[in-house]
Structure 1
Amino acid sequence: MLTACPVLPGDVALRPSSFKHLSTLLAAALLAYAGASHAQTVQAWITTGDKAQLLARNADASFKPGAKAATIIEVDPKQRFQEMTGFGAAITDASAWLMQTKMNEQQRAALLNELFGKAPGVGFSFTRLTIGASDFSRHHYSFDDMPPGQTDPELKHFSIDPNRADVLPITKAALAINPKLQVMASPWSAPGWMKSTDSLIQGTLKPEAFVSFANYLSRYVSAYQKEGVPIYALTLQNEPHFEPKDYPGMRVDPAKRAAFIGGHLGPVLAKEHPRTKIFDWDHNWDEPGSPAVVLNDPVASKYVAGVAWHCYAGDVRVQSALHDRWPDKETYFTECSGGKWAPVWSDNLQYFARVLVIGTTRGWAKGVLLWNLALDENDGPYLGGCKECRGVVTIDSRDGKVTRNEEYYALAHASRFVRQGARRIASTSGYDQLDTVAFRNADDGSVALLVVNSAKQPRSFAVRVGQRSFDYTLPAASVATFTWK
């Protein structure tokens, strides 16, 4: 027996006969909610090879049940792979000097906020410094130079003063914008007195200098940490199989690297800087046997956190092959430069996005770095080495104006939408000239899917996640990032 309830002002009294009608309304509301979830909005950001769109917000898409397109990209958030450290480029001496001396305060702040800040910035969260000079320095130096024939095994003359005018302030400014920025560092050469040539140019590390060089690298980490710049990772040598003739370099073959890491650098860092990682190799894809020797060494391997790769020779697929042999070791991509040798903007955009962003991360890279963050209108300043390399951005040394190059857009399609701590997730790739990689952000569960259309005509496809999908058509020779929650 139902007992009547008092009706309060503004209430509606329901008779038993009304409950059937109410259940019908509730069912309709649930169906409407389900339909709304299928109509979830997908944002699309596109850069085209003809520059008509540059990281531009395009028409949104919506999820719906099923998928009827001939080409289907499957995204599976349940299949998770590496956690991302981030994307970015190297703050070389040249890059830092240009920002510090050729831009006014407002220009510099605007560029740094754009590069390292959150949207509408592009959110770079990974960078690389040179420990001493590279070819993109205005003079050649180490942090403990001595006159010819003299040595300093106790490092009494060690100093990072050459970085105080530009590299340090620019790096600290970037960290102030993005406190989560991870900074790795690589020497192009040990101080000359530690080498067979007694010079920064060519030569190899002398065995009797192993102790001094390990302490030199640890002192660098300490000095930068004291300045408020934690060093996330070190490599012991940039491109250790290359001895350039006109800028600092040093050959360190794999057996010597293993002996140095296992007997000296590894124990020193474990004691003094246990949070700083060691990456081996820091050189091209064409010689995977070299890092394999170091990883096969039982003493050295326990100190090596991962392997770093460059793009200038070989095939990106070796990253996965090495990872398959040593799945406990991390993978990083740490250098590639564009330049005047490849003058077609559209081709460069596709290469950098398809191979260096998608290919490297599908090949287990936790971080992706390009070479100079910024160079001037003459592709410098430089001293020896590459005379036609291009920066991610170009800073006009006459007025401080900035040009964003194809490398900028390739990186930004990942860095703006894939945040530090995101996980790569499964996506089908390489079908119908469509290459993809997908990530899920840890903070809000949002998904970012990068798609490169390498075809000379538009490509239509569906992106399917579980039982729902959205349709899209990408312009020819374009890069897109799709995001949804």
Structure 2
Amino acid sequence: MHISSTLVAATLPLMALASPSLIPRQASTKITVDPSKKYQTMDGFGFSAAFQRANLIVNLPEPKRTALLDILFSNTTGAGFTILRNGLGSTPNSNSDYMNTIEPTNPGSATATPKYVWDGKDSGQFWLSQQAVKYGVNTFYSNAWSAPGFMKTNNNDMNGGSLRDEWKQAYANYLIQYIQYYIDGGVPITHLGFLNEPDLSTSYASMLSNGQQAAAFIKVLRPSLDAANMSQVGIVCCESTGWGQAGNIYGGIKSSGADGQLAVVSSHEYTGRAGNSLSNTHPSWQTEYADLNGGWTTSWAGNGGAGDGMTWASNIYNAITRANVSAYLAWEGVQAPNPNTNEKLIKCDASNYEVSKRLWAFAQYSRTVRPGAVRLGTSGGNFQTTAFQNVDGSVAVNIINTGGSAATVSVGVTGLVPASAVSWLTDNSHDFTSTTLTVATDGSVSGSVPARAMVSFVLAAAAA
């Protein structure tokens, strides 16, 4: 049962489509959503603006600056991102693209009174976060790459080194003070990470740690947050370079008795892809991944390269279904043309920007799968299919057709006769564009899924 996929607005009431004489009968692939099979609860989708990338948005002239904010955060015209990951700085200056610290000078000892300095900008991230709040974003993740150098074994916030034992409380206080600046500015920090890629020493901010060391600090940080009336802030750990490393460091945290003080287990995907759930007791987040080396492309399905939009749709699908991630974050949301690679979703210079199809791959999920949605079981069809029930009762069904032929798909949710339905398409020619669908008398929804494309169906539940 299918009407040709002429692009039109698709908020279609059930009764307007229910007449059998108006619905041609054609063979279609049936996908069934089973609400009795429940998996992870979603926290959202997002990106980072660390290493001064947020300043690219701040400095963009109007009206382009607002237009770019809409592309990132609007749930009606843009990607509808719901998580913002900010880099928590440790460097005494802002040379190059370093993230500056709020404690640029050594107070003299771990117990001496610190001299905090707040510029009210945080490399543009503070302003960007305040704008995100206006769009309804309420998940903000502050993530430190390193402690200030004087707190570390190598006396440098770069090139690895570890946190000195005697500075653990001072580092916890430092992180709390940073969060307080944001809270005072109306930005509700919900998550805090104190490490980034602790298995890698780099020439920029970095700090090494194993699971036992991380656990020792968590045991200081958690009660310190609680004492500062920040019990709502969840600790995230540990941003490893890959899934295998994340499992190793998390194992050390558990064996050291700090698992109960952790809120989220996190990892990147550079050295190992998301292939299994990191924890049975905490949400797993994929917090950073990008095509760091591929030349800039805005293609959806070109040659199947690492920067193609459809590749990223599949990346997200794989992490959600194989590793049960509750959040999936891109690396940089925006970045300058140099380097001209795919590590950003949007290429931005002093006066203009260009949006990649990777952003619209995220939009297919983020616009339709909202925070608090629960993943449901699906069956039928040779596609990459996921389904979620949102908090408002609507069901989102996301279908990626990697094949070379279009398909007519019929989607049914057991026990649900939708009050209305919409569908959205991204492919080489469309960016989250509404498409035609039909609703049959049995409540199933039918529409076309073009070759090498992603279509998201959202079925609205009847009002209670």
TM-score normalised to structure 1 length: 0.76
Given candidates 313, 337, 355, the residue that maps to 1:353 is 313
- Unpaired segments ≥5 residues, structure 1: 1-38, 46-52, 380-386
2:32 touches 2:412 (CA, 8 Å); kept in 1?
yes
Matched, 1:482 2:457: yes
Given candidates 85, 88, 105, the residue that maps to 1:146 is 105
- Residue 391 of structure 1 aligns with which residue? 344
Which amino acid letter does the alignment assign opposite residue 412 of structure 1? Answer: A
Which amino acid letter does the alignment assign opposite residue 348 of structure 2? Answer: I
Q: 1:172 to 1:154 in 2, by over 3 A?
A: farther
Matched, 1:279 2:236: yes
Given candidates 104, 123, 135, the residue that maps to 2:61 is 104
Matched, 1:446 2:394: yes
Give, in whole Å, the separation in 2 of the partners of 1:367 and 1:338.
Answer: 19
1:84 touches 1:420 (CA, 8 Å); kept in 2?
yes
Given candidates 173, 177, 201, the residue that maps to 2:135 is 177
- Residue 404 of structure 1 aligns with which residue? 355
Given candidates 57, 73, 87, the residue that maps to 2:31 is 73
Q: 1:205 to 1:472 in 2, by over 3 A?
A: same
Give, in whole Å, the separation in 1 of the partners of 2:86 and 2:112.
Answer: 24
Given candidates 199, 203, 228, the residue that maps to 2:156 is 199
2:265 touches 2:285 (CA, 8 Å); kept in 1?
yes
Q: Could you tell me how far 1:374 is from its partner in structure 2? A: 0.6
Highest Rg: 1 or 2?
1
2:364 touches 2:398 (CA, 8 Å); kept in 1?
yes
- Residue 385 of structure 2 aligns with which residue? 436
- Residue 456 of structure 1 aligns with which residue? 404
Q: Could you tell me how far 1:247 is from its partner in structure 2? A: 0.7
- Residue 130 of structure 1 aligns with which residue? 87
Give, in whole Å, the separation in 1 of the partners of 2:169 and 2:394.
Answer: 47
- Residue 422 of structure 2 aligns with which residue? none
Q: 1:44 to 1:120 in 2, by over 3 A?
A: farther
Give, in whole Å, the separation in 2 of the partners of 1:422 and 1:76.
Answer: 15
Which amino acid letter does the alignment assign opposite residue 68 of structure 2? Answer: L
Give, in whole Å, the separation in 2 of the partners of 1:174 and 1:74.
Answer: 36
**Residues 21-420 of structure 1: matches in 2 within 5 Å?**
71-101=29-59, 103-132=60-89, 138-146=97-105, 151=109, 153-154=111-112, 156-161=114-119, 163-164=121-122, 166-178=124-136, 180-202=137-159, 203-244=161-202, 246-262=203-219, 264-272=220-228, 273-283=230-240, 284-287=242-245, 288-298=247-257, 300-319=258-277, 322-323=278-279, 326=280, 328-341=281-294, 345=299, 346=301, 347=304, 348-357=308-317, 359-360=319-320, 363-379=323-339, 388-397=341-350, 399=351, 401-420=352-371
1:43 touches 1:484 (CA, 8 Å); kept in 2?
no
Give, in whole Å, the separation in 1 of the partners of 2:52 and 2:73.
Answer: 18
Give, in whole Å, the separation in 2 of the partners of 1:168 and 1:42.
Answer: 48
Which amino acid letter does the alignment assign opposite residue 439 of structure 1? Answer: F
- Residue 384 of structure 1 aligns with which residue? none
Which amino acid letter does the alignment assign opposite residue 355 of structure 1? Answer: N
Give, in whole Å, the separation in 1 of the partners of 2:457 and 2:407.
Answer: 15
Partner secondary structure for residue 318 of structure 1: coil
- Unpaired segments ≥5 residues, structure 2: 415-441
Q: 1:43 to 1:126 in 2, by over 3 A?
A: farther
Q: 1:361 to 1:126 in 2, by over 3 A?
A: farther
Give, in whole Å, the separation in 2 of the partners of 1:161 and 1:154.
Answer: 22
TM-score normalised to structure 2 length: 0.80
Q: 1:396 to 1:269 in 2, by over 3 A?
A: same
Q: Could you tell me how far 1:341 is from its partner in structure 2? A: 2.3
What is the count of residue pairs matched by the alignment?
413
- Residue 11 of structure 1 aligns with which residue? none
Structure with more helix by fraction: 1
Partner secondary structure for residue 84 of structure 2: strand
Which amino acid letter does the alignment assign opposite residue 167 of structure 2? Answer: A
Give, in whole Å, the separation in 1 of the partners of 2:10 and 2:394.
Answer: 18
